């Protein structure tokens, strides 16, 4: 075992893993964190604590991770390259590890132009690939990026993100291979709606032996309404939502569209379970944490394993 991460233990034991997501509040009130966490405790093996997602100022990911841990969740501490240089990153990693946070996700981060401080500087001292390498070096070699020895190496289970649908699509598996070579222990994918294309992606990854080197979790997001389905299909870069799914949700009566979205999600969970190399799902129920208990129960994913 590379860490004390509950997610690592679940995956190493061969269980089908379930991770969730919790977005920190735009304020200092931890009651908002507690409310979201109350729906997730016991329903997921780890929960992603996002890092100023959509480039909007929010409670620090490490602080929210600590609150989540105190509430009984295993935090997957997200770190984006947008906001910090390598000194701040390494400092935050040490602090998180000292607080018992031992699962981390390396990301580039949304451009500031998408958020509420469009004039802020993009730091990007490192890219996400270099961040993965840096964390691995800190953990496995006990050294800072500058070469100095660490007195008390951070034992982190290292994650990364992958988009099977980005362009140029023929290079997506190659990029996955590079992240695994850099040191990623697990991968969480972008939201999947085009299941045929995801199967083809996983077939290539499996044939290259990548699924033997790294755990891959399929990212799934329930469609709450026809409006959301249309937005995801037309406005979100790197997303592919087939027309038949958009039509299926949008054609349902308005009061039944959320249920139709959940039915599609449940079907998707069963489909990804059958794809060789998929080690679990990353359930992104965006601002819909209260539906996670129902979704995981209906999908037959409860109780979660204790390892």
User: What confidence tens digit (pLDDT) does each residue in 128-162 have?
Assistant: 999 999 999 999 999 999 999 999 999 999 999 99
Once rounded to an integer, what is the mean pLDDT over residues 45-54? Answer: 97
pLDDT at 286: 84
Looking at the DSSP bridge assignments, the partners of residue 187 are 160, 216
> Is the CB of residue 132 less than 8 Å from the CB of residue 182?
yes
Q: Which residue carries 């966490």 as its tokens? A: 37
DSSP state of 121: P
Helix (H/G/I), strand (E/B), else coil: 222: coil
Q: Which residue carries 């984006």 as its tokens? A: 80
> Is the CB of residue 221 less than 8 Å from the CB of residue 191?
yes
Judged against a pLDDT cut of 90, whether residue 98 lies above it is answered with yes
Q: Could you write out the DSSP letters of every residue in 141-202? A: T-B-TTSPBPSS----EEEEEE-TT-SSGGGHHHHHHHHHHHT-SEEEEEE---HHHHHHHH
Residue 24 structure tokens: 């920190």
Distance CA 76, CA 74 (A): 7
Helix (H/G/I), strand (E/B), else coil: 108: coil
pLDDT at 238: 82
Distance CA 176, CA 178 (A): 5
Q: 237 pLDDT band (50/70/90 cuts)? A: confident
Q: Where are the domains of the chain?
A: 6-298
Q: What is the pLDDT of residues 172-205, one digit of tens each?
A: 999 999 999 999 999 999 999 999 999 999 999 9
Distance CA 136, CA 155 (A): 9
Fold of 6-298: TIM Barrel (3.20.20)
Higher pLDDT, 149 or 238: 149
Residue 164 structure tokens: 């099977």
Q: Which residue carries 């590890």 as its tokens? A: 97
> Is the CB of residue 57 less than 8 Å from the CB of residue 117?
yes
Looking at the DSSP bridge assignments, the partners of residue 106 are 79, 160
Residue 244 structure tokens: 């038949």
pLDDT at 58: 97
Cis peptide before 174 (omega within 30 of 0): no
Distance CA 286, CA 301 (A): 19
Number of Cβ within 10 Å of residue 87's Cβ equals 12
Q: 234 pLDDT band (50/70/90 cuts)? A: very high
Looking at the DSSP bridge assignments, the partners of residue 143 are 149
DSSP state of 25: P
Vertex 129, ends 124 and 132: CA angle to 5°? 105
């Amino acid at each position: 075992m590379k860490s004390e991460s509950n997610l690592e233990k679940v995956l190493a034991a061969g269980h089908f893993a379930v991770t969730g997501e919790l977005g920190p509040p735009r304020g200092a009130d931890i009651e908002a964190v507690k409310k979201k966490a109350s729906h997730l405790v016991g329903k997921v093996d780890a929960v992603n604590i996002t890092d100023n997602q959509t480039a909007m100022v929010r409670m620090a990911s490490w602080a929210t991770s600590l609150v989540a841990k105190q509430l009984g969740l295993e935090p997957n501490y997200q770190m984006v390259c947008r906001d910090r240089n390598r000194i701040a990153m390494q400092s935050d990693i040490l602090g998180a590890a000292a607080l018992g946070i031992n699962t981390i996700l390396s990301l580039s981060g949304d451009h500031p132009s998408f958020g509420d401080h469009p004039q802020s500087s993009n730091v990007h001292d490192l890219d996400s690939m270099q961040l993965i390498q840096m964390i691995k070096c800190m953990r496995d070699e006990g050294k800072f990026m500058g070469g100095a020895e660490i007195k008390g190496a951070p034992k982190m289970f290292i994650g990364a993100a992958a988009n099977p649908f980005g362009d140029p699509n023929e290079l997506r598996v190659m990029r996955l291979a590079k992240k695994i070579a850099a040191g990623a222990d697990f991968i969480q994918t972008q939201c999947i709606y085009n299941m045929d294309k995801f199967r083809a992606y996983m077939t290539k990854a499996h044939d290259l032996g990548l699924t033997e080197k790294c755990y891959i979790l399929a990212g799934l997001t329930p469609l709450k309404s026809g409006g959301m389905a249309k937005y995801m299909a037309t406005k979100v870069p790197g997303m592919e939502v087939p027309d038949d799914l958009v039509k299926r949700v949008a054609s349902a009566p308005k009061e039944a569209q959320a249920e139709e979205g959940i039915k599609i999600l449940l079907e998707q969970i069963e489909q990804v379970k059958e794809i060789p190399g998929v080690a679990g799902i990353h359930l992104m129920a965006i601002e819909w944490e209260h539906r996670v208990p129902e979704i995981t129960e209906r999908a037959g994913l409860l109780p979660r394993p204790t390892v």
